[in-house]
Amino acid sequence: MAGSFDRFWISSTKEDVMAFSRRNFLKYAAMSAGGTLLAETPFLSARAREKAEGGNVRYVPTTCEMCFWKCGVIAKVVGGEVVKLEGNPLHPQSRGRLCARGQAGIGLLYDKDRLKVPMIRTGPRGENRYKQASWDEALGYVADKLKGVEDKYGPEAVALFAHGSPGTYFNNVVRGMGSANVAYPSFAQCLGAREVAWELTYGQGPNSTCERVDLANSRVIVLFGTHLGENMHNSQTQEFAEAVGRGAKIISVDPRYSTAASKASMWLPIKPGTDLALLLTWINIIISEGWYDKEYVEKYTTGFEELKKEVKSYTPAWAAQETDLPMRQIVESVRDLGRYAPNVMLHPGRHFSWHGNDVQRGRAMAIVNALLGTWGRPGGIWLPPKVNLAGFSENPEHPKANKDAVVFGDYPFAGGEGLTQVLRETTIKGDPYPIKAWIVAGTNLIKTMPKPDLTRRAIDNLDLLVAVDVMPTDTVMMADVILPEATYLERHDGLFTITTREAGIALRQPAVAPMYQSKPAWWIGSELCKKMGLEQYAVKDTWEGRMRRQAKKWGIGFDELADTGYVAIPGSAAPYITATNQPVFKTPSKKIELVSSELEEEDFDVIPKYEPIEQPKKGEYRLLYGRSPVHTFTRTVNNQWLWELKKENEVWLNKKEADRIGVKNGEIVRLENQDRVVSEPVRVRATERIRRDCVFMIHGFGQHSPAMSRAYNRGADDQKLITRYKVDPICGSTGMRVNFVKIIKEA
């Protein structure tokens, strides 16, 4: 693996890069053939492997949904039972490997607590009294109620919240009715601000299903709060480990000594909320010490002189005071970046809704990358693959929305995924119009959105709450109608366009038939369309049939795809800038906008400006939250194999703080926030691995739904403590790291 660095980072021609995936593939083959007895046949296709192994074994290549990275999976099926999941070596997101969650997908499939039959609520909301219903009855009930809401309030009173694959199919119901009120928490509660920041700067985001970070070839990697390893995204973490293994410099800027920080040559334990002070100072140093890529800046960017003037006042001495970092670290880290530029990167990050000034923080990160010329450079941010697939639809266009959607609020750069919290607020206030029905597909809103009490209040205002999900989450158990979705191992989805360095096509196909009475979301959405009189939006025959027609239109052999799980689009990879492969910036100026013309138009700061944010008072700690490698939010906490490894979260508290307030490691405490909301009991992890002014929890625990028998009442719910959020004025995302907690000892 050591040699791969030299091989790859120098090679910036298209041909060399095209060879990348082939070479990787050969590497696998060679590695397996190396040992005398370990002559493993490389995976070529499911049928070939079945034939080679014989017997009663089936292999089904499909796409994982234990998180949203879309790894290629090969399910091993024996006698109708899925017995093993392995990474698909042909798929660039998994490269033959799966993480703990991916391996544990079987635990979701065979979870005894799964939703099994459609249910209609019979008792008061939240009291868990339901009657079983047939699909016909349940969908008929939903259709009648939706029509009732439409008749009384108009179609815009019906809203959709979704995450992952199922959302696609309910869009047709909601938009087909004439409502445009659709929102995905993945924007406002996650990476929306990042996307907007990079769109404003480069005209394009860094891609969410696979950030275009060339970790494998990078010489300096800066992580702002990004805790790769704990935040487990398969191929990205593989490349991170590879970078660590060959001695790339890792610079971790994080108030917590994360696993990634433990791999770093420099850990900058920054005071939370001051990242922009560090970034602006870095920009100043990069310019004043001449580390920037002059030719690149000249050729591809606008606004350099204005930027130079603007950042002059951000000195290292000032930044040291503001960020609580040693001045030496501030200067040395950025000089390392400069020294190895352009084969360096500031990783764009992922969950980005932190403090409410997040677009500007993202802009500063994008600007540092631009000055160092990382966009389109080996070890930096690779250029998107060249792919030109025609849109595919078998349904007519949705009608024009009856009324303008509320989901963009008053935020000029709210993205296409909409703002969940605005939809919620409108539901509570009924202004500018009432919203009376929610379809919630694959997202646990109560545990996802800040101020969960408002989510409950909004739900109380509804005439209808429909939940489509696999597990009986807290949100599902508030629903009027529960529609049990088949797991990803039991259904078709796709086709998926996978854009890594190259573009390719993948699919999801069932390893086994849906268990119990669960149904794939495409079927549920389609049947609901029929019941609503929206036949034109229903699926023609089956989703597989649709996928076959889509593949045909795209000139891809469906049977080959179904056999291998992934088909690359030849000639699509063009990751690095060359004389003939020039980057395209879809900004108004067609350049990288160091000074943003779009922000100027909307009267925002055209260059990020630092403003201090509120810091905790003495005895209070800022509440930080993050990921565990074995869990995806609340989605996996009930999974047997993952639950075993992480049953509950702890609250990380600095050891000296713990000593000061007289709390022992392992002691059970509660947290009380600034609004006097008190958490569930939670164990203290007294550790040197975190600053004294903040505490950290893994998100996703503290399930209140007793129907999740393993996860029920395990650990503490961080979301409950997030009763305050700061909205980013540019894009409307909800900064959630603005809550302060005290430690309360249990009597």
Partner 1 sequence: MPKYAMVIDQSRCVGCMACVVACKRENHVPPEQYRTRVLEMVNGEFPRLKSEMRSELCNHCDHAPCVTVCPTGASHKEDDGTVQIDRRKCVGCKACIAACPYNARYINEEHGYADKCSFCQHRLRAGKKPACVATCIGQSRIFGDIDDPNSEVSRMLRDNSYRVLKKAAGTRPNVYYINQFPKKS
Residues of this chain that bind partner 1 (CB under 8 A): 1, 31-32, 34-41, 83-87, 96-104, 106, 228-230, 232, 234, 237-238, 240-242, 244-245, 247-250, 257, 259-260, 262-265, 267, 269, 629-630, 640-642, 644-645, 654-656, 687-692
For the beta carbon of residue 309, count every other beta carbon within 10 angstroms.
11
Amino acid making up residue 42: P
CB half-sphere exposure, 716, CA atoms < 13 A: 24
| DSSP letters for 590-603 | SSEESS-HHHHHTT
379 vs 484 by CB, closer to partner 1: 379
By C-alpha distance, which of 385, 348, 350, 382 is closest to 368?
348
The two three-digit tokens of residue 464, written as one number: 């209808």
Alpha carbon distance 179, 169 (integer Å): 15
Using CB atoms within 10 Å of the CB of residue 477, give its burial: 0 to 12 exposed, 13 to 18 middle, 19+ buried.
buried
C-beta closer to partner 1: residue 137 or 324? 324
Q: How far is the CB of 232 from partner 1 (least distance, A)?
A: 5
In the bound state with partner 1, the residue whose beta carbon lies nearer, of 267 and 408, is: 267
Report the nearest approach of partner 1 to the CB of residue 603 (Å).
Answer: 40
Which residue in 454, 381, 473 sits closest to 725, CA to CA?
A: 454
Amino acid 354 reads W
Q: How far is the CB of 23 from partner 1 (least distance, A)?
A: 16
- In whole angstroms, the minimum distance from the beta carbon of 523 to partner 1 comes to 29
268 or 482: whose CB is closer to partner 1?
Answer: 268
Comparing CB distances to partner 1, the nearer of 1 and 513 is: 1
Q: Which is nearer to partner 1, 38 or 579 (CB)?
A: 38
Q: Which is nearer to partner 1, 92 or 385 (CB)?
A: 92
Q: Minimal distance in Å, beta carbon 685 to partner 1?
A: 11
Scanning 183-290, the segments in alpha helix (DSSP H) are 185-186, 192-202, 234-245, 259-262, 275-288
Q: In angstroms, rounded to a whole number, what is the distance separating the alpha carbons of residues 712 and 701?
A: 9
358-371 vs 275-288: helix axis angle to the nearest 10?
20
Nearest approach, Cβ of residue 266 and partner 1 (Å): 9
State which residue, 494 or 700, has the beta carbon closest to partner 1: 700
Q: Which is nearer to partner 1, 534 or 686 (CB)?
A: 686
Minimum separation from the CB atom of position 480 to partner 1 (A): 36
Residue type, 364: A
CB of 98 to partner 1, least distance (A): 6
Q: Which is nearer to partner 1, 71 or 722 (CB)?
A: 71
Of 396, 438, 398, the closest CA to residue 420 belongs to 438
* DSSP bridge partners of 63: 72
| Distance from C-alpha of 147 to C-alpha of 159, rounded to nearest angstrom | 13
Which residues have C-beta within 8 Å of that of residue 331, sequence separation ≥ 6?
285, 316
Nearer to partner 1 among residue 99 and residue 200 (C-beta) = 99
Q: Are 233 and 408 in contact (CB under 8 A)?
A: no
Q: Whole-number minimum distance, CB 657 to partner 1, in Å?
A: 10
Nearer to partner 1, 80 or 416 (CB): 80
Report which secondary-structure segment, H or E, holds 697. Answer: strand 694-698
* Minimum separation from the CB atom of position 689 to partner 1 (A): 6
Give backbone dihedrals phi and psi of 87, rounded to 5 degrees, phi first.
Answer: -70, 145
Measured between alpha carbons, how far is 508 from 493 in angstroms, rounded to an integer?
5
Q: Strand 72-78 vs strand 81-87: parallel, antiparallel, or unpaired?
A: antiparallel
Question: For residues 93 and 505, what is the distance between their CA atoms, to the nearest angstrom?
Answer: 12
Shortest Cβ distance from residue 628 to partner 1 (Å)? 9
Q: How far is the CB of 580 from partner 1 (least distance, A)?
A: 34
Residue 322, token pair as written in the block: 């503001």
Residue ranges of alpha helices (H) inside 541-595 are 543-554, 558-564
Q: Closest CB to partner 1 among 410 and 688?
A: 688
* Residue in 241, 239, 263, 242 with CA at minimum distance from that of residue 252: 263
Work out how close the CB of 338 gets to partner 1 at its nearest, in angstroms, rounded to a whole number: 16
Q: How far is the CB of 70 from partner 1 (least distance, A)?
A: 16
- Residue 654 CB, nearest distance to partner 1 (Å)? 7
| 261-268 contacts, C-beta under 8 A, 24 or more apart | 261/223, 261/227, 263/229, 264/223, 266/329, 266/332, 266/333, 266/336, 268/323, 268/325, 268/329, 268/330, 268/333
Question: How many other CB atoms are there within 10 angstroms of residue 614's CB atom?
Answer: 13
**Residue pair 14/573 in contact by the 8 Å Cβ criterion:** yes
Calpha distance 573→19 (Å, rounded)? 10
Residue 86 or 527 with smaller CB distance to partner 1:
86
- 41 versus 578: smaller Cβ distance to partner 1: 41
Tokens 């450079």 label which residue?
A: 377
The nearer residue to partner 1, 108 or 160, going by C-beta atoms, is 108
Residue with tokens 């790894």: 71
Identify whether the C-beta of residue 743 lies closer than 8 Å to the C-beta of residue 623.
Answer: no
Q: How far is the CB of 108 from partner 1 (least distance, A)?
A: 12
